[in-house]
Amino acid sequence: METHISCLFPEILAMIFSYLDVRDKGRVAQVCTAWRDASYHKSVWRGVEAKLHLRRANPSLFPSLQARGIRRVQILSLRRSLSYVIQGMPNIESLNLSGCYNLTDNGLGHAFVQEIPSLRVLNLSLCKQITDSSLGRIAQYLKNLEVLELGGCSNITNTGLLLIAWGLHRLKSLNLRSCRHVSDVGIGHLAGMTRSAAEGCLNLEYLTLQDCQKLTDLSLKHISKGLAKLKVLNLSFCGGISDAGMIHLSHMASLWSLNLRSCDNISDTGIMHLAMGTLRLSGLDVSFCDKVGDQSLAYIAQGLYQLKSLSLCSCHISDDGINRMVRQMHELRTLNIGQCVRITDKGLELIADHLTQLTGIDLYGCTKITKRGLERITQLPCLKVLNLGLWQMTDSEKVR
């Protein structure tokens, strides 16, 4: 007796359809009534984010999304009112408006007119017309928000952060990349330093302050005092922070990832402060900190030996620094030393001999390495990623 796919129970069909990509999920719904019904089972669409161009009215759009249990939406282009989305999906969990340049405070204000307890994630990255006024609405009506992306929203000020600190107590992740008006005062609001006005976002675990040029070491003091649950801190391109600020960060027990990329005032002294504290960092990025050299590697080996990822691209390190570090770094899995032009085959041999758990290494622009050193690196038993970039073999090194 032959069994045809049409004989399968709807639950089995739904299980099969759940493995398809989004486009194919839609296609199988057009095959026949049985497949359409099976494809509309909520298990098929679990975790799917609908990507929409909002141009003209489509009365069936949101009922269709709700029938399939879709609660995550990305708006690719916004030519209708945002309230159209909010009214159509009252149980929305995630709303991504990244790059919707025409979104204004007025448009957002008309959409958020009552509490939306289901909304957990809101992405407003590169919505450049959004100001503190919108953050007031968000703080008032999105009390359960856990993730807020504001990267590139260059009109946000400390007042906006005060509003966030007043209303969004469940916030776990906040991205303020390139919010150029944000200063130490605003970070103080987030960290609960102004309790008389706002409780603060004391549950923050992920904080991105990349390219916030007005921040100084005082911000790091606020963070260390108020944000005890912080796990990931991105301070890349923050030129106003210095070695002294690292003292404040050095005893943050929950912090496991710190990004100091292109922080021009961080030197070996700053790395010393981090290493002498009680940090249990898993990831550290000091790439393009041109005051970081071999002495930093000695400090890392002494106090940050539990690192699994270390980025030192374009730092002034040499084979001597590698020698001082490798014997203690048994947990290291990823090492980025691209554009470290003083590294030679000797350094690579030390890495190959001692960092046997490495799964990835970046050697982009390391112009003094040769085929001999690379042969040692490629013998690492766990290596999966090797970036060579600008490296080139000389004619005498090429296999003939």
Give per-residue pLDDT as tens, 44-87: 567 677 788 877 777 777 887 777 778 888 888 887 788 888 88
User: Do residues 34 and 6 touch, judged by C-beta distance below 8 A?
Assistant: yes
Q: How far apart are CA 183 and CA 110, in angstroms?
A: 30
Q: Is residue 223 located within the same domain as residue 150?
A: yes
> CA–CA separation, 324 vs 25, rounded Å?
55
Answer yes or no: do 25 and 55 share one domain: no
Same domain, 40 and 95: no
Do 312 and 287 touch, CB atoms closer than 8 A?
Answer: yes
Residues 59 and 28 in one domain: no
Residues 155 and 78 in one domain: yes
CATH number at residue 317: 3.80.10.10
| Claim to verify: residue 264 and residue 351 sit in the same structural domain | yes
Q: How far apart are CA 247 and CA 256, in angstroms?
A: 16
| 99/145 same-domain check | yes
Q: Report in angstroms the alpha-carbon separations of 258 from 77, 206, 230, 341.
A: 34, 10, 10, 24
Is pTM beyond 0.85 here? Answer: yes
Q: Helices marked H in 91-234 — which ranges? A: 105-111, 132-141, 158-167, 184-190, 217-226
In a domain, residue 246? The reply is no
Instruction: Report pLDDT for 342.
Output: 96
Euclidean distance between CA atoms 227 and 230, whole angstroms: 6
| Domain count along the chain | 3
Residue 105 lies in a domain: yes
Are residues 271 and 300 located together in one domain of the fold?
yes
Is residue 118 located within the same domain as residue 220?
Answer: yes
- Give the whole-angstrom CA distance, residue 189 versus residue 183: 10
Please tell me the distance from the alpha carbon of residue 55 to that of residue 263, in angstroms, as a whole number: 43
For residue 298, give Cα distances in angstroms to 9, 215, 302, 311, 318.
Answer: 64, 29, 6, 15, 12
DSSP of 336-390: E-TT-TB--HHHHHHHHHH-TT--EEE-TT-TT--HHHHHHHTT-TT--EEE-TT
Instruction: Note the pLDDT tens digit of each residue in 231-255.
Output: 999 999 999 999 999 999 999 999 9
pLDDT band at 398 (very low <50, low <70, confident <90, very high): very low
* Residue 247 located in a structural domain: no
Domain region containing 58? 49-241
The tokens for 397 are 């090194």
pLDDT of residue 56: 72
**Looking at the domain assignment, is residue 134 inside a domain?**
yes
